[in-house]
Structure 1
Amino acid sequence: MSPRRSYDQYCSTARALDAVGDRWTLLIVRELLAGPRRYTDLHADLPGVSTDVLASRLKEMERDGLTTRRRLPPPGAVYVYELTSRGQELLPVIQALGSWGAPALAERRATDAVRAHWFALPLLRSLQGEGLVEVHLDEGLFHLWLGAQDGPVYGDGPAPGEPEARLTLDAETCTDLGRGALTFHQAVAAGRVEVSGDGTLAKVLRGE
């Protein structure tokens, strides 16, 4: 591993950038906010990153106390990477960056890769309540844990177990919600989001 680079400034912003300012680091955090991930899964969901760079960033993040690596018990018996509590504290940083960058998503470029779960954190900013929500997009499924205090805040694919609400919407609506162009209840009223479920959370999300 190369020696740690530093801005050598006695400033909290500079110290933070010493740890997370390298290219790809915060996107790795974005992926690990979904919980433990295998190296191969991380590489698949970070299109454009080389294997050398990904391996280097993961080692640096482990050295800086942002991630840990552990071996799953049989029959999995593979290594996974996950955020430490220090790494989990980057959620509001990722959310703030996503909010700041949302206006740049007005138009999707032909070269842009997309994964359904990349809409999870922007959508999370616009939802209230607590519980498990499954989200259906044309691009795929993901799920959210609203009000989670620790552990994963979202996950790729169907919800593990019965969700308390299911949302059906499109990527454009997710983007508009993420950049504050409309509120979630406005999107529901306009028919751009369908909320299904009979529990308390579904009713809260429908504004009942």
Structure 2
Amino acid sequence: MSRLRRMAPQSRQARQSRRRSYDQYCAAARALDAVGDRWTLLIVRELLAGPRRYTDLHADLPGVSTDMLAGRLKDMEGAELVTRRRMPPPVSASVYELTERGRALLPVLRALAAWGAPALDEPRPTDAVRAHWFAIPLLSALEGLGARVVQVTLDEGEFHVRSGGGGQVTYGEGPAADAEVRLRTDAATCRALAGGELTLTEAVDSGRAVLEEPVRAS
């Protein structure tokens, strides 16, 4: 009996693991085994902007419980999408960051954002909004500026986008001291740009967006 009792938790854990898999020999099913759970891709969205503390992740994922977030991060570590490391003094805090495999999900999120953009009508009363959530939907439009670093300012805040060699693109919260171009606009214009209803040139010509080149000290 004691042996059976000891084995029972392992059996339950094995059954739970099997339930989390589609058990299909299919690349799409394998991908969904890793990222198909609720909140997982939104955690990736946040970490694509750089390493984040648990408290910062929780603040920018309104609606997720602390237990759910902790569980998802643990699962993502197990799937080798995320790593956790200790920051050196004086910060002395742990941060989560994407692995190379996790960062490779950027094109997936870009495709999802393009597919979902037409569904962005007026914000609902219950909708949370963060400025950097517009970064992924706007990547294609901002890349057309040909600038290495673009800073975007909205009423909701600021974010910046960096274009590196080999087509690599990253983004982050807040302003960028080395921005080559600054774009000022609003959430409604971002929505129109993301949905393909408006080009960036049309947004500037109509006054819905303003492009500025920062003044450099001589």
Does TM, normalized by the shorter one, top 0.5?
yes
Q: Is the 8 A contact 1:35 1:152 kept in 2?
A: no
Q: Is the 8 A contact 1:33 1:152 kept in 2?
A: no
Q: Which one is further off, 148-157 or 105-114?
A: 148-157
Q: Is the 8 A contact 1:124 1:146 kept in 2?
A: no
Structure 2 Cα separation of the partners of residues 44 and 150 of structure 1? 31
Q: In the alignment, which of 87, 106, 109 is matched to residue 102 of structure 2?
A: 87
1:43 aligns with 58
Taking structure 2 as the reference length, the TM-score comes to 0.85
Secondary structure class of the residue paired with 1:180: coil
Runs of 5+ consecutive residues of structure 1 not aligned to the other structure: 200-208
Secondary structure class of the residue paired with 1:35: coil
In the alignment of these two chains, the number of paired residues is 197
Aligned-pair CA distance for 1:146: 2.8
1:180 has 2:183 as partner: no
1:194 aligns with 210
1:169 aligns with 185
Give the CA RMSD over aligned residues: 1.8
1:70 has 2:82 as partner: no
Structure 2 Cα separation of the partners of residues 89 and 148 of structure 1? 16
Q: Is the 8 A contact 1:130 1:147 kept in 2?
A: no
Q: In the alignment, which of 109, 127, 152 is matched to residue 112 of structure 1?
A: 127
Taking structure 1 as the reference length, the TM-score comes to 0.89
Structure 2 Cα separation of the partners of residues 147 and 106 of structure 1? 33
1:11 aligns with 26
Going from structure 1 to structure 2, the CA distance change for 1:182 and 1:33 (only over 3 Å counts) comes to same
Higher relative contact order, structure no. (Cα contacts within 8 Å, ≥ 6 residues apart): 1
Going from structure 1 to structure 2, the CA distance change for 1:198 and 1:49 (only over 3 Å counts) comes to closer
Q: Percent identity?
A: 64
* 4+ residue segments displaced more than 6 Å: none
